[in-house]
Structure 1
């Protein structure tokens, strides 16, 4: 394998025609140039120059290498520029996988700040619910995953995955604006025991059923959907009520749907997950920090 320093020196010798001329152009001593050319010839396994008078003439092996040297150096220069752009956050690509309510709230806010400060960073947004989203991280299908857990549920992640806590998201009951419970500031789950329900993703549904069982009733689940806007539309039409995270309040259809906090409060934990090694990649680390800052601003509101 060729040493790029030797290729640069070889290219300088070819252009100058002498070791002394190459040394002058590079700011080296002539013995240093001579040593590098001897090392390169050992790598090639053949002489690259023969001396003709005071100048150096290329051998057949030298002519072959000379035809490629400039292209090699140009490619190295382009590579150096691109790597420098990535490490200095002028460019980079990061794949973020998030669950729907985070995709509609935390992620857009974070990406707006990222675009303003680092327009060269490109983010590909994927959508999936936990635990599937965490499996995608482990399979290398994304670089950052946003996921949530409920009280009593401990997320099982490999040792190489780092969890970055973001916020605690309080659960709310969504109901039509004409519902009798709307006049209350907070509501109890047991007060809706006789209602028809619209349930969300598998993890949310499992937690919901557990909470209802603890209160001694089995909910009548009329519809299931992972789409928060569909849930709101069903609630707006009076087809049921739903237990939803407070993140959805920021894109609620306030004209026909009302949200009331659950009492006693129940909160889900939202975190970002990233492979430990990926935190050494500047663009990935920046995206994680930008999402964390967006969550912090939301908590402070």
Structure 2
């Protein structure tokens, strides 16, 4: 492998024509230049110069290396500039994979904060429900994943993944405004045993089944959709009720629908996930910092 210092010295010897001129230009001693060129010749396995009088003449190998030396040094300089920009947060790319209600709430505010202070950082947003979003993180298809878990359901997090808790998202029962229980301030799950239900994504459906089973009944699930707008529209028309998190209610509020918290309260944990070794990447760390700040300021979750 080439040492970039040797390539730089070689390039200067070629430009100036002698070891002594290159030494003056670079601020080295002539013996230091000689040692570097001998080391470079050992690494390539052949002489690069022949001496003609006081000047140095390139061998065939030296001619070949000379044609590439300037490009090599230019590429190194460009790479150094890009690395400096990334480490100083003037540029960089972070790919976020989030579930829909986080994409509509936490992510936009965090990205607005990020853009205000670091407009050179590019953020790409993907959407997926867990556990697929976590699989995408492990496969290297995203850099940060926002996902949620439920207390009663055992979740395995891969060893190489760091979980960063953001907030507890309170679950709410969604009812049509004319429902007899809509006047209550909170609702016991057992009071809803005879209702028709609208279930969400696979993880949310599993939690609904689990919580209802804990209270001694199996919910009558008549519709399943992970589209939060569809859920509210179905509830508004009296076609069923739903269990949704507070994050959903914060951005979708149908005028014919009301939300009531469960008694006792039930919550899901919303967290950010990142590969542990990526925590040291400046742009990724900054995105996580902004997400934590936004989550800390959420009201009603």
TM-score range, shorter-chain basis?
over 0.9
Alignment deviations for residues 239-283 of structure 1 (CA, whole Å, 9 cap, x no partner): 111100011111122422211111110011111111111112111
CA deviation map 1:65-88 (0-9, x unaligned): 111111111111111111121121
Deviates more, 1:188-197 or 1:286-295: 188-197
What is the distance in 2 between the residues matched to 1:48 and 1:219? Answer: 81
- Give the 5 Å matches for 1:153-168: 153-168=153-168
Aligned mates of 2:289, 2:14 — CA distance in 1: 49
Q: CA RMSD for the aligned pairs? A: 1.6
Aligned pairs, number:
301
**Within 5 Å, which residues of 2 pair with 1:126-205?**
126-205=126-205
Q: Within 5 Å, which residues of 2 pair with 1:240-279?
A: 240-279=240-279
Please name the residue that 2:211 is paired with. 211
TM-score relative to the length of structure 1: 0.95
Q: Secondary structure at the match of 1:166?
A: strand
Q: Deviations over 1:211-237 (max 9, x none)?
A: 222222222211100111111121122
- Give 3-state SS (helix, strand or coil) of 2:283's partner: helix
Pair 1:40-2:34 in alignment: no
CA drift of 1:146 comes to 1.3
- In structure 2, the residue matched to 1:87 is 87
Greater shift in the superposed pair: 267-276 or 184-193: 184-193
Gaps of 5+ in 2: none
Q: Separation in 1 of the partners of 2:67 and 2:104? A: 54
Q: Determine the C-alpha separation between the residues in 1 that align with 2:43 and 2:90.
A: 37
| Normalised TM-score (structure 2) | 0.95
